[in-house]
């Protein structure tokens, strides 16, 4: 496919004859793109009508849309710890966002865990990360020490988009003092601070496009992890993008739409770079959000998760079900929708299988599975018998088995839903099917026995936390 987006000058200068042939090696390049706090219904391929996303829609058309795609946690950092390790993050005590503190040696992805970048680099891949890190601010957690050869971005959980202010456009609203410091933290190239220039999402895209072009000439494949902070707050966008959405009367939704459209624009430029350099067919691309959109909570960004119930921070579908795309033109058929439940933990084993990479047998077992046989139609079974969630050290649990979903949230009674007829989780069937509820509750308890209590606690939003439960590894 060809895209009409204008490329950076560096692309126009790339001599295509010097690029390796598409079949010069069988292992694909791997590109993992993650949006931040993106609403389930806020991209075209999911049904959005007020935010055109033509490039993401094109990406969806080139591969498989996983309609029942999930993340392993409904909040930013634990979700990232899950998909970068392929393991439920509660297995290694990662259940909260880490403090923004460069001296905190426990607030980050444990050094005992092996990342996707570690494994792919060992398999001969060039590895790079661009954008949001949010897996620890202490130097020991730096991306360059977690398997990434190259890094450009910021280490915290958020960052302003426009240099000079953390205020949201048109509102004057600012983050709290601690978040203020995190939002204005250094932009780094590896460990060197670089000037903060231009709108951030656009700049991350420029870096990603340059990386794709630069490594097109390499004799070995590459892995690029592009983690946007958009459309996470603060709500800030380029003026030209805001003008495109002047018809949206709600100001916050208008800014949010401009931010999502900027992500789409950047994805288009990257796809064009892949096309122009002859790499698209042999590049395996994943696109997900790190969790559901936060519609009403403190980090609300005017997102929409309809028809799902709930939002970021919930184990209702709106907190954990996300837009989820997989594209690899050389291998995966295009234009398909896959409806079996899959989870972000599957990204790592799928990528390793595509790369022909093996993991050290001494490493802890993965919870994700290789999706390729399922997406290729070679295996018609469900990839997972069950998917599980635990939040806040045991304050909330959920499990999905087929179309059944059981959950318990904080002090509320257990609930049971049939997602095949009630994706909005509006009809609790616990009393109608007590035997199913009991079975799923028991399976959740069994799964929980393999987890540990959180190794650090950080709850800046003041949610309900049972301290005794944290210490005792609370049961469902």
Report the relative pairing of strands 415-418 and 192-194 from DSSP bridges: unpaired
**Which residue from 330, 317, 322, 319 is spatially nearest to 346, judged by alpha carbons?**
322
Same domain, yes or no: 350 and 404: no
Domain boundary among 342, 375, 408: 375
Compute the C-alpha angle 177/178/183, nearest 5°.
Answer: 95
Please tell me the pTM assigned to this model.
0.92
User: Do residues 346 and 369 lie in contact, with contact meaning Cβ atoms separated by under 8 Å?
Assistant: yes
Same domain, yes or no: 391 and 367: no
Per-residue pLDDT tens over the stretch 53-98: 999 999 999 999 999 999 999 999 999 999 999 999 999 999 999 9
**417: CATH:** 3.30.1120.10
Same domain, yes or no: 433 and 356: no
Domain boundary among 375, 401, 426: 375
- Sheet hosting strand 150-154, strand order edge to edge: 192-194, 187-189, 150-154, 126-132, 222-227, 29-35, 283-289, 324-327, 64-66, 336-338
Along the 476 residues of the chain, how does pLDDT read in single tens digits?
545 443 433 333 333 333 333 343 489 999 999 999 999 999 999 999 999 999 999 999 999 999 999 999 999 999 999 999 999 999 999 999 999 999 999 999 999 999 999 999 999 999 999 999 999 999 999 999 999 999 999 999 999 999 988 878 766 566 555 567 899 999 999 999 999 999 999 999 999 999 999 999 899 999 999 999 999 999 999 999 999 999 999 999 999 999 999 999 999 999 999 999 999 999 999 999 999 999 988 789 999 999 999 999 999 999 999 999 999 999 999 999 999 999 999 999 999 999 999 888 889 999 999 999 999 999 999 999 999 999 999 999 999 999 999 999 988 999 999 999 999 999 999 999 999 999 999 999 999 999 999 999 986 544 444 444 444 445 56
The pLDDT, as a whole number, for residue 93 is 97
Catalytic residues: 76, 134
Same domain, yes or no: 138 and 208: yes
Backbone angles phi, psi at 462, to 5 degrees: 70, 30
Same domain, yes or no: 301 and 438: no
Per-residue pLDDT tens over the stretch 249-262: 999 999 999 999 99
The pLDDT, as a whole number, for residue 8 is 37
- How many CB atoms sit inside 10 A of residue 348's CB? 27
Task: Give me the DSSP letters along 45-68.
Answer: GGT-SSS--HHHHHHHHTSEEETT
The pLDDT, as a whole number, for residue 416 is 98
C-alpha–C-alpha distance, residues 389 and 216, integer Å: 39
Domain count, the chain: 2
Same domain, yes or no: 175 and 314: yes
The pLDDT, as a whole number, for residue 176 is 54
Same domain, yes or no: 173 and 74: yes
The pLDDT, as a whole number, for residue 25 is 47
C-alpha–C-alpha distance, residues 469 and 474, integer Å: 4
Secondary structure element (H or E) that encloses residue 435, with its range? helix 434-448
Q: Write the DSSP symbol of residue 31.
A: E
Same domain, yes or no: 316 and 411: no
Same domain, yes or no: 443 and 364: no
Same domain, yes or no: 201 and 313: yes
C-alpha–C-alpha distance, residues 437 and 430, integer Å: 6
Does residue 417 form part of some domain?
A: yes
Same domain, yes or no: 73 and 208: yes
CA Rg, the chain, in Å? 21
Identify the domain containing residue 359 by its residue range.
9-15+28-375
Same domain, yes or no: 156 and 280: yes
Does residue 304 form part of some domain?
A: yes
C-alpha–C-alpha distance, residues 406 and 341, integer Å: 15
Q: Write the DSSP symbol of residue 436.
A: H
**134: CATH:** 3.40.720.10
Domain boundary among 348, 375, 402: 375
C-alpha distance from residue 355 to each of 21, 28, 419 (Å): 18, 6, 34
Report the relative pairing of strands 324-327 and 187-189 from DSSP bridges: unpaired
C-alpha distance from residue 265 to each of 3, 80, 258, 389 (Å): 11, 24, 10, 33
- Tokens 């004859």 correspond to 17
Kindly report whether the peptide bond that precedes residue 216 is cis, defined as omega within 30 degrees of 0.
no
C-alpha–C-alpha distance, residues 407 and 156, integer Å: 31
Secondary structure element (H or E) that encloses residue 188, with its range? strand 187-189
Does residue 22 form part of some domain?
A: no
């Amino acid at each position: 496919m060809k895209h009409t987006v204008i490329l950076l000058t560096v692309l126009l200068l790339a001599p295509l004859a010097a690029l390796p042939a598409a079949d010069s090696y069988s292992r694909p390049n791997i590109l993992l793109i993650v949006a931040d706090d993106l609403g389930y219904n806020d991209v075209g391929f999911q049904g959005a009508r007020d935010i055109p996303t033509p490039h993401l829609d094109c990406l969806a058309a080139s591969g498989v849309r996983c309609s029942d795609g999930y993340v392993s946690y409904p909040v930013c950092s634990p979700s990232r710890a899950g998909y970068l390790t392929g393991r439920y993050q509660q297995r290694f005590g990662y259940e909260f966002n880490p403090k923004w503190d460069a001296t905190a040696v426990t607030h980050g992805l444990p050094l005992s865990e092996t990342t996707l970048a570690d494994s792919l680099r060992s398999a001969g891949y060039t590895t790079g990360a661009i954008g949001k890190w949010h897996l620890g601010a202490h130097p020991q957690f730096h991306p360059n020490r977690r398997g990434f050869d190259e890094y450009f971005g910021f280490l915290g959980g958020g960052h302003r988009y426009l240099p000079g202010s953390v205020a949201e456009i048109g509102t004057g609203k600012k983050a709290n003092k601690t978040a203020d410091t995190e939002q204005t933290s250094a932009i780094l190239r590896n460990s060197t601070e670089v000037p903060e220039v231009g709108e951030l999402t656009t700049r991350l895209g420029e870096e990603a496009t340059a990386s794709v072009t630069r490594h097109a000439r390499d004799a070995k494949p590459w892995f690029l992890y592009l983690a946007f902070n958009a459309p996470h707050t603060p709500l800030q966008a380029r003026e030209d993008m805001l003008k495109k959405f002047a018809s949206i009367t709600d100001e916050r939704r208008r800014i949010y739409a401009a931010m999502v459209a900027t992500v789409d624009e950047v994805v288009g430029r990257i796809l064009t770079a892949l096309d122009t350099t002859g790499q698209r067919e042999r590049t395996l691309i994943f696109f997900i959000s790190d969790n559901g959109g936060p519609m009403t909570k403190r980090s609300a960004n005017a997102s929409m998760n309809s028809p799902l119930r709930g939002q970021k921070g919930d184990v209702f579908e709106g907190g954990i079900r996300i837009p989820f795309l997989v594209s690899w033109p050389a291998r995966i058929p295009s234009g398909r929708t896959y409806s079996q439940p899959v989870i972000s933990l599957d990204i790592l084993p799928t990528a390793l299988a595509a790369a022909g990479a093996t993991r050290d047998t001494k490493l802890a077992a993965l919870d994700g599975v290789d999706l390729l046989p399922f997406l290729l139609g070679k295996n018609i079974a469900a990839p997972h018998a069950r998917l599980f969630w635990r939040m806040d050290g045991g304050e909330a649990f959920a499990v999905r088995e087929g179309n059944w979903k059981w959950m318990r949230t904080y002090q509320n009674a257990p609930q049971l839903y049939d997602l095949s007829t009630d994706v909005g989780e509006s009809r609790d069937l616990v009393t109608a099917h007590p035997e199913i509820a009991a079975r799923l509750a028991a399976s959740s308890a069994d799964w929980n026995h393999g987890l540990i209590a959180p190794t650090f606690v950080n709850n800046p939003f003041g949610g309900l936390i049972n301290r005794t439960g944290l210490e005792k590894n609370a049961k469902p």
